[in-house]
Amino acid sequence: MILLGYVAISVIGIVLLEISTGALIKYLRAHFQWLITGADENPRLDKDALEKFFNSSYDHELGWVRRPNTTGHEKSRSGDTSFEIGPDGSRVTPNFKMLPASISCYGDSFTFCRQVNDDETWPYFLSGKIGSRIQNFGVGNYGMDQALLRLKREYPQNPTPVVVLAIVPETITRVLSVWKHYSEYGNTFAFKPRFFLRNNHLELFSNLADKPEKYFELETLLPSARKNDEFYLSKFRKDILTFPYLISFTRSIRRSLPLITALCLKHIYKAFDIYSNYEAALFKKFVLNRNIALSAKLYRKIENENLLIAILRGFVEFCTAQGAKPIFMMLPQLTDIEYIVDTEDYYYEKFMKRACEMLPCLDLAPQVLALEKHSQFYSDDRYGGHFNKHGNALVADTLFDFLQSLELSELTIHQNQDGTA
C-alpha cells in the first residue's frame, strides 16, 4: 500500500508538472514566435493580414515582390524611413529617374537597402558616381534562387549592359526552403520556389502557394512543404514543443531550457522596468546568432555549396545569353562580421573562391573587417544589421572602384570631377 501511495503521488506530480509546463510554454509562445508549439504545425493565418499581403506583395511565382507605383514606410530604432517603387517595379533612385539605366541590381534586402531612404541606398550612390540610373530590383528576404527567377522575368523589359547580383551569406539557408516558417518561425505567408540540383542540372520546384486561395487550404500544402523544405526535419521538428511537453522539452533541452529561462526573465525584467535592452539581446542570442551558426554549418556541406554554385552558374549563363556582363557581390550582415571576428571562421570563403572562378566577384567583408568600428556602418535593427547610409556609401565606393578595375566595354562612366553625374 505504501508503494502504491508513492506511485500515486509520483503520477500526480508528473501530471501536475506536465500541465504547468504546457501552460507556461503556451503563455510564453504568445509573446515570442520563435518558441514553437504543436499549433505551429498547421498555424491559423490571420485573414486581415493575409488580405493585406495579397494586396501589397503576394506573387504567384516568386512568393512576394513589391508592387509597382507604391510607397512604403518603416520604423526602427534608427529612425523612420520611406521608399518608393517606380513603374518598372524597381526602387526609385531620386535625381536619376529620367536617365537611361546602365546597371540593374537583383538580390535581397541588402540590395533593396532596408531602413534607409531612397537617396541613401548604394544603387543611388552608385548612380551618382557612374552618371546613369541604377535599377534596384532587390526584395527583402529573397534567396539567390528568387533573385535569379526575378532577373529572368524582369530583364526582357528592363535590359542593361551590366547586371549585379548582390546577396547576404545567409542565402544558403534561403535556397533550401520552400516555406520560410520552417526556418523563420512565424513567417507563415512566405512560400517560395526553390531549385534542386539533380544530375548536375537545376530543377525548379515551383511555389506551392501559386494561387491566393491555397492559403485557405493550408493543410493541403503541408505534406509537400515538409518533404521539400530542408528545415522541417533538421530544425523545425527538433525545436517544436508539443504534448507530452516534458518529453519534447527534455528532447530539445539544450535550446528549450535556456530559451524558456530567458523568456521568464524577460517578463520579470519588464514587470520591474529593468534591463530595457534585454529583449533585443534575447532576440540576438536565440535567433540572429543561431541563424549565422546554421549558415556556417550549411556552407560546410558540399551539396549545399554545389547548389549555390549551380544557381550562380545559371545567373552567368542567362546574362551571357542576353549579352550582359554579370557581377556577383556578397554583402555581409553585421552578425556575419561579428561571427567572423569572434570565431575567426570566414565560413563562406571557400564558396567565394569557387564563385570567382566563374565571374567577377566582390565580397565586402574585407572592407568592413578593416574598419575600426563595424557597427557605425550598420543600422541599429533586429534583422541582422542592415547597412546604414554610411555603409551603403562604402558599398557604392567599393563597387565603383571594382567596376573601374574591370574596364568593362559594356559600361560607360559619365563622371564629373566631384564624383557626381
- pLDDT for the residue numbered 349: 97
Pair type for strands 325-330 and 361-363: parallel
- pLDDT for the residue numbered 406: 93
- pLDDT for the residue numbered 147: 99
| The three three-digit cell numbers of residue 81, written as one number | 524611413
| The three three-digit cell numbers of residue 289, written as one number | 546568432
Neighbours of 277 (CB within 10 A): 9
Q: Concatenated DSSP letters for 298-351?
A: HHTSHHHHHHHHHHHHHHHHHHHHHT-EEEEEE---HHHHHHHHHH---TTHHH
- Of 73, 72, 114, 141, residue with least CA distance to 386: 114
Q: Contact, 366 vs 317, CB < 8 A?
A: no
| The three three-digit cell numbers of residue 290, written as one number | 543561431
- Of 124, 162, 131, 136, residue with least CA distance to 413: 131
End-to-end CA distance of the chain: 93
Q: One-letter amino acid identity for 203?
A: E
- pLDDT for the residue numbered 415: 59
For residues 7, 13, 19, 24, the Cα torsion angle rounded to the nearest 10 degrees is -150
| The three three-digit cell numbers of residue 344, written as one number | 575567426
Give the angle 242-247-251 at the CA atoms, nearest 5°: 95
Mean pLDDT for the chain overall? 93
Alpha-carbon gap, residue 316 to 91, rounded angstroms? 24
240-263 in b/e burial notation, b at 16+ Cβ within 10 A? Answer: bbbeebeebbeeeeeebeebbebb
Q: CB neighbours of 307 closer than 8 A, spacing ≥ 6?
A: 175, 176, 195, 196, 197
Helices (H) and strands (E) in the chain, counts: 18, 11
- pLDDT for the residue numbered 420: 44
DSSP H stretches of helix in 116-241:
122-130, 144-154, 171-174, 218-228, 231, 237-239
For residue 201, CA distances in Å to 142, 176, 197, 225 come to: 22, 16, 5, 22
Q: What is the pLDDT along the chain (421 residues), one digit of tens a residue?
A: 666 666 677 778 888 888 999 999 999 999 899 999 999 999 999 999 999 999 999 999 999 999 999 999 988 777 889 999 999 999 999 999 889 999 999 999 999 999 999 999 999 999 999 999 999 999 999 999 999 999 999 999 999 999 999 999 999 999 999 999 999 999 999 999 999 999 999 999 999 999 999 999 999 999 999 999 999 999 999 999 999 999 999 999 999 999 999 899 888 888 887 776 777 888 888 899 999 999 999 999 999 999 999 999 999 999 999 999 999 999 999 999 999 999 999 999 999 999 999 999 999 999 999 998 988 999 976 666 899 999 999 999 999 999 999 988 777 777 543 444 4
Q: Sign of the CA dihedral 292, 294, 297, 303? A: negative
Q: Contact, 137 vs 106, CB < 8 A?
A: yes
Tell me if the domain spanning 47-405 has CATH number 3.30.9.10: no
Alpha-carbon gap, residue 326 to 134, rounded angstroms? 14
Eight-class DSSP state of 100: P
